[in-house]
Structure 1
Amino acid sequence: MIEHPTDGIITGAAGGIGKALTLALAGAGVHLVATDLDKGGLDALVREADGLPGTVIGMAGDVRDRDLPQALRDRALAAFGGVGLLVNCSGFLKDSRIQKMPVDLFRQLVDINLIGPLRLIEAIAPVMRMAGQGRIVSIASRAWLGNFGSSGYSCAKGGIVGATRALALALAPHGITVNCIAPGFIETPMARSLPPHILDRVLKAIPVGRAGTVDDIAALALFLAGSGSGYITGQTLVACGGRSISNPIAST
């Protein structure tokens, strides 16, 4: 069981990684308000979590909605009396080279992958400061190091990494840690949406010889949410099977 915290909020909870994180945290005894744009998937997640040590309360919503952060905070406070953990797992991947990048697509990538999570942190950090403790974990991406043809997504995920470092400095005196997990290629529907020829090249570029799993990422989230990670803040844990130290994939 996780010693600290016992209650929290997770976004993007019905997605591949988000679902694994939600079930792992609830299995460790964390009570969660879980949100996702996919109401059907969220309802199924709540049913699957029934019987776990931690309670999962579903609350459908869009991270681009300016009212969602306060609504999630208020729901968690009403249900659990506190918010000791925030996991930003909402994500959107649809990218193109900068020459072909529609402005609306760029805005959507930034709104979902960067602005939404920052609004959540803005709403939840005061609650954590009052309690004198808290854990903030955001799911970034190995793409923050730069992916060919991924200007918008890499930009947004890089923003999360930079914001994490800045927020860690601001919140450390209040007992709050702020960290990122940057997955590489993980077996999820979003990752599998890439064109087949790109998928093949990605898999061949992973030194450990396999794609990652959602359980690989859930294990890191459990660690960063737990009491054993209290001396780690402002960091990005890259879970990519060694791809970040191999040659980048470039167009030929």
Structure 2
Amino acid sequence: MLEILTSDRIAARHGFFTRKGGASSGIFAGLNCGTGSSDQADVVMINRTRAAAALGVPVTALVTVHQVHSATAVAVTVPLDERPMADALVTATPGLMLAVLTADCQPVLFSDAKAGVIGAAHAGWRGAMDGVLEATLDAMETLGARRADIVAVIGPTISQAAYEVGPEFFERFTDNDRATSRFFAQGRGDRMLFDLPAYGLHRLREAGVGHAEWTGHCTFADAERFYSYRRMTHKGEADYGRLISAIRL
């Protein structure tokens, strides 16, 4: 049985899927939808097919990109034969299911119900800092959306308590903008704790969206429901699964 987290603020059909209800086994146990993982390709396809069916579309209508931690957003009107290198998608075409894959980074789903425009973004710290969220909004506007009418929801992502970083990471942010120091808390020794979802919400609100929220789920803290790259590294495992977050008109 699939477990799908949703937001009452998004009118379009959508879901932040947990790892429950998938066909993968071993370290990937559950709904691993990452074609870039070392999981069996046919099993990953079964999982992606299940996710698409849950939102009422065939897997052929599932559109993803080759995620590269960029600030690139692409508009799509038909299913893609090849995945472009980008980290966000937008569309105004009914029947297409836009999806991003994450395992600690922020999955962000966007909807302008008035204009009939949706979007999905993969926003890790680098993508968020470089402007992938704003790029998604820009791309939605080219299709007729208005920022004041856009709802943006951040799904399961790593929380501040689990996101320990070094001083060079802190300096990368604060050298560019001293005000970003408020997204860091003191950790052990010279370590800092970074609040990725708070930073994402800040960027969204500063960009002028009508509403922005985080579901409040931490990928690192809940191994039964979520995959986590950082938890994988702490445990010394060879690979990790990818969660799928998707939206469709």
Specify which structure has the higher proportion of helix.
1
For Structure 1 versus Structure 2, the TM-score category normalised by the shorter chain is 0.3 to 0.5
Q: TM-score, normalised by structure 1?
A: 0.42
Highest relative contact order (Cα 8 Å, sep 6+), 1 or 2? 2
Q: TM-score, normalised by structure 2?
A: 0.42
Specify which structure has the higher proportion of strand.
2
